[in-house]
């Protein structure tokens, strides 16, 4: 008999019931309601925060950073949507559908933030300022998706890309103006689901089929330099002191380490 005090305790759910619950539209719907209602374009309606004064050079750096976040979000939008077709089960298909709309929302709020910063044509600006390594990462990710290689695509997108974004956005929030910080906070709340899905899915698959480890290690070898290059450039732009970077690097590497890859 479950008492009222423990009613709804998630830790009491069977694992299958838990997965059904968290990968459902209903879960997504009730979760985002908590932090997106009354937050048009990722910002709270009240109190209205005035656009902060930003020095021209800092503003330009912020625009480049946000443009590159858009590249990452577009890569995730295009990859996640195409992965639905070959996702191995209904649960994963529905979860990916929620991720697709999350990624599209991220792209939208970031483009909106660029407009607020005075960029006349944000989409054109993204093309102009895109980091080459990030574009190369996007191309490779979409190749893995086109090859319908589920494990490699989840690993590249939901583990490598999402963990990098989670780490960079968390660091950026500490240094950003209040409006940008609030937009990024909302994005991070979504990223928790995405990277958790990726790590747990790949973790389960590695246990069931250890031979895929070698294939994923190759993917990682190929993508790591691209991610780290983009990572370094963004940390420069947002002004993260060099002394803090090893710690951020460790945070980025923690998920691949948990999955048993050398860091």
Q: Smallest gap, in angstroms, from Cβ of residue 177 to another protein?
A: 21
Each residue 44-83 as x (binds another protein by CB under 8 A) or -, in order, gives ------------------------------x--xx--xx-
Q: At its nearest, how many Å lie between another protein and the CB of residue 83?
A: 8
Which residue, 49 or 124, is less far from another protein as judged by CB?
A: 124
- Annotate the chain with DSSP letters as a single string: ---TTTTT-GGGS-HHHHHHHHTSHHHHHHHHHHHHTT-GGGS-SSSPPPPPP--HHHHHHHHHHHHHHHHHHHHHHHHHHHHGGG-SSHHHHHHHHHHHHHHHHHHHHHHHHHHHTT-S-HHHHHHHH--HHHHHHHHHHHHHHHTT-HHHHHIIIIIIIHHHHHHHHHHHHHHS-HHHHHHHHHHHHHHHHHHHHHHHHHHHHHHH-TTHHHHHHHHHHHHHHHHHHHHHHHHHHHT--GGGHHHHHHHHHHHHHHTT---
Quick one: which segment of 44-52, 56-64, 220-228, 253-261 binds another protein (CB under 8 A)? 253-261
Interface characters, 160-199, with another protein (x: CB under 8 A): ------x----------------------x--xx-xxx-x
Decide if residue 213 touches another protein (CB under 8 A): no
Q: Which stretch binds another protein (CB under 8 A): 31-39, 173-181, 215-223, 226-234?
A: 31-39
Residue 135 interacting with another protein (CB under 8 A): no
Contact residues for another protein, defined by CB under 8 A: 5-6, 8-15, 18-19, 22-27, 29-37, 40-41, 74, 77-78, 81-82, 84-85, 90, 93-94, 96-98, 100-101, 103-105, 107-108, 111, 123, 142, 166, 189, 192-193, 195-197, 199-200, 203-204, 206-207, 254-255, 258
């Amino acid at each position: 008999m479950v008492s009222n005090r423990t009613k709804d305790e998630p830790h009491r759910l069977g694992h299958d019931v838990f997965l059904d619950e968290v990968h459902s539209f209903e879960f997504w719907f009730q979760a985002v309601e908590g932090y997106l209602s009354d937050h048009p374009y990722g910002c709270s309606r009240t109190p209205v925060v005035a656009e902060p004064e930003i020095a021209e050079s800092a503003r330009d750096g912020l625009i480049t950073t946000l443009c590159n976040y858009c590249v990452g979000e577009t890569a995730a939008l295009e990859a996640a949507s195409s992965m639905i077709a070959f996702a191995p089960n209904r649960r994963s298909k529905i979860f990916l559908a929620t991720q697709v709309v999350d990624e599209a929302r991220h792209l939208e709020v970031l483009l909106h933030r660029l407009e607020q910063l005075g960029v006349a044509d944000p989409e054109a600006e993204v093309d102009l300022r895109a980091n080459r390594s990030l574009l190369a990462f996007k191309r490779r990710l979409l190749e893995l998706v086109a090859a319908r290689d589920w494990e490699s695509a989840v690993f590249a997108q939901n583990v490598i890309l999402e963990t990098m974004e989670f780490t960079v956005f968390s660091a950026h929030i500490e240094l950003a103006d209040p409006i940008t910080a609030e937009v990024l906070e909302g994005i991070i709340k979504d990223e928790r689901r995405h990277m958790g899905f990726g790590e747990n899915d790949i973790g389960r698959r590695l246990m069931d089929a250890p031979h895929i480890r070698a294939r994923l290690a190759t993917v990682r070898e190929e993508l790591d330099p691209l991610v780290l290059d983009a990572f370094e450039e963004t940390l420069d732009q947002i002004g993260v002191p060099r002394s803090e970077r090893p710690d951020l690097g460790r945070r980025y590497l923690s998920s691949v380490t948990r999955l048993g890859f050398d860091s």
